[in-house]
Amino acid sequence: MARLRLRLLSSGNFLLTLILLVALFIMVNYIASLRYARWDLTRQKITALSDHTARTLQALKTPVSVVVFYQPSHRLYGLVQDLLSEYRRASPKVEVEYVDPERDIARAKQLAKELQIEEPNVVVFRAGSRRQHLSDTELADYDYTALQFGGEPRVTAFKGEDAFTSAILSVIREQPPLVWFTTGHGEKSLDSADPMGLANLHTVLDQQGISGEAVTLAERSAIPPEVKLLVIAGPARRFLEHELDLLQAYLDRGGRLLVLIDPLEDTGLEGWLDRWGVALGNDIVVDPSRQLPFVSAANLLVTDYTEHPIVDKMTTLVTLYPLARSARPSQPASEGLTVTPLASTSADGWGETQTSVGTFQFDEGQDLKGPVPIAVAAERAGAEGPEGEGAASPTRLVVIGDSDFIANSQLGNVGNRDLVLGVTYWLIQEEQLIGIGPKSIESLKLNLTGPQLTRVFWFSFFAMPGLVGMLGVGMWWVRRR
């Protein structure tokens, strides 16, 4: 009887201990689900959020819902899921729903109708009645080489953070920033799909939640304050005095202007820009030390950038300009203006004043000696407002000695897109978005020779199991003694 009681007591203690361990395990996991830490140990920090995104998420006051309309087998599903987990951790305002269009057919049909989703593999951001769709081609860069051999496209870079943060800003804005593109002087067309058009740039701006509109200044009596940025992209004819007066009045009250002027053009803006601290050279900038193979030295490759918010994140990128003129701070410096070069040639480059020649040669005292800047940013602090209202917005101006680099045929080259977006963000005072670029996906391979594979086989199938067996026998022998 005593033995039976002892057994029951022992079994009860064991059962109670087991129950307490299970309860402790559940409690620890529950606490860990509420308070935990994550580290991104990948070299490219694929899912780690930039400081810009973190600040944007911390400032969120409007709830943003995200619908991931993806099949789990899709190549981007894991990357999207990991990144959105970081967004949810950074802000409770971000809500995420995953819908498999093949398995949850009823919910998929409901959302497809509600959100106007026409095809799978789409991420939809929405806040109130505003929404933004992101396809997989907007989230990643692909290498399609394998297609010609019957393979699948390979993801080379993940652009999720840039796309997600831009989409959030797009849907929480009550009114998207309005950007005017001037017309009437031979400028590049905002909606043209030709190689020299700007349709690709228009699409990029739209993806960032920025509204672009083509406008003829000569038909306007004023530039309204809701225009956040005015862009002059590649004019080939002179501006009227009336138009220059409009530009002057716009900048005087804190406007923002982006001027892209090609070489060999007389636009009437050259002297007007000099009053704003920018000197445009009547030259062609060349840099033979960085000349691309089989093309003229006038195809300018730039890798040198200064310290400025626009280009701080571009130290590892190059920008390509098919034909550029110099743009530098004017001398003497204009009072009240801060003028900073953004990009320039190497010390071996120069501004060639003999623009009609095919072979370029530096002429001391005649040509502009390198390094030669081709892009500058100017800023003038806003005037103090009435007491308690603080200072007005600063006037900002960027001048680049080329417009072809943003054309459809050139925008995708290396860092061209990054530069024009950085310029745009700085001009409309959304610097927190500058530098959220794509993150490369590394493909690591372990190549083993035949003898190495043989050693791995023997070690895996015989040495390790044999070692474990010997340890087991040893333990049995020790216990037996």
Beta-strand runs (E) in 348-458: 350-352, 368-369, 373-380, 395-400, 439-440
If you average pLDDT over residues 70-85, what whole number do you get? Answer: 89
Residue 41 lies in a domain: no
DSSP letters along 104-141, please?
Answer: -HHHHHHHHHHHT--SSSEEEEEETTEEEEEEHHHHEE
Which of 168, 190, 209 finishes a domain? 168
Residue 243 is which amino acid? E
50, 83, 167, 204 from 79: Cα distances, Å: 16, 6, 17, 22
pLDDT at residue 385 in the model? 41
Q: Give percent of the chain above pLDDT 90.
A: 42
- pLDDT at 386 > cutoff 50: no
Range ranked top by mean pLDDT from 32-41, 125-134, 389-398: 125-134
The domain boundary, picked from 168, 190, 214, lies at 168
Cβ neighbour number for residue 120 with a 10 Å cutoff: 17
| Contact criterion met (CB below 8 Å) for 437 and 226 | no
* Max mean pLDDT range (87-101, 227-241, 285-299, 330-344): 227-241
Average pLDDT of 48-58? Answer: 79
Residues 240 and 347 in one domain: yes
In a domain, 20, yes or no: no
> Do 429 and 281 share a domain, yes or no?
yes
Nearest Cα neighbor of 181 from 192, 169, 189 is 189
The string of pLDDT tens digits covering residues 387-420 is: 444 457 899 999 999 999 999 999 988 889 889 9
**For the segment 448-468, what is each residue's pLDDT rounded down to a tens digit?**
666 777 777 777 777 778 787
pLDDT of residue 387: 45
- Per the model's pLDDT, the better-predicted residue between 293 and 11 turns out to be 293
Q: Which tokens go with 285?
A: 């900038």
Q: Comparing C-alpha atoms, which of 208, 209, 270, 211 is closest to residue 239?
A: 270
Q: How many domains does the chain divide into?
A: 2
Domain co-membership, 126 together with 77: yes
Rank 58-67, 203-212, 286-295 by mean pLDDT and report only the highest. Answer: 58-67
**Residue 330 per-residue DSSP state:** -
Same domain, 353 and 215: yes
My answer on whether 143 and 118 are in the same domain is yes
Give the predicted TM-score (pTM) of the model. 0.71
Quickly tell me which residue has 């050139």 as its tokens.
410
Domain presence at residue 268? yes
pLDDT band at 262 (very low <50, low <70, confident <90, very high): very high
Answer for the pair 142, 211: CB distance below 8 angstroms, yes or no: no
Answer yes or no: do 157 and 189 share one domain. Answer: no
- Please tell me whether residue 391 adopts helix, strand or coil conformation: strand
Asked if 340 contacts 376 with a C-beta cutoff of 8 angstroms, the reply is yes
**Residue 369: what pLDDT?**
93
Same domain, 164 and 180: no
CA dist 269 and 246 (Å) reads 13
Residues 98, 136, single domain; the answer is yes
Looking at the fold, whether 160 and 248 belong to one and the same domain comes out as no
User: What pLDDT is attached to residue 442?
Assistant: 52
Mean pLDDT of 266-284: 94
The 3-state secondary structure of 138-166, one letter per residue: HHEEEECHHHHHCCCCEEEEECHHHHHHH
Determine, yes or no, domain membership for 404: yes
**Are 94 and 77 contained in the same domain?**
yes
What is the predicted pLDDT for the residue at 105? 87
pLDDT digits (tens, 9 = 90+) for 352-376: 998 877 778 888 889 999 899 999 9
Average confidence (pLDDT) over 253-269: 95
**Can you give the residue range of the structural domain that contains 317?**
176-383+391-439
With contact defined as beta carbons under 8 Å apart, do 58 and 93 qualify? Answer: no
In this prediction, residue 149 carries a pLDDT of: 67
DSSP 8-state secondary structure symbol assigned to residue 359 = S
State residue 388's pLDDT score. 46
**Cis preceding linkage at 63, omega within 30:** no
Task: State whether 187 and 314 are in the same domain.
Answer: yes
Same domain, 136 and 241: no
Q: Which of 432, 438, 435, 427 is nearest to 260 (CA)?
A: 427
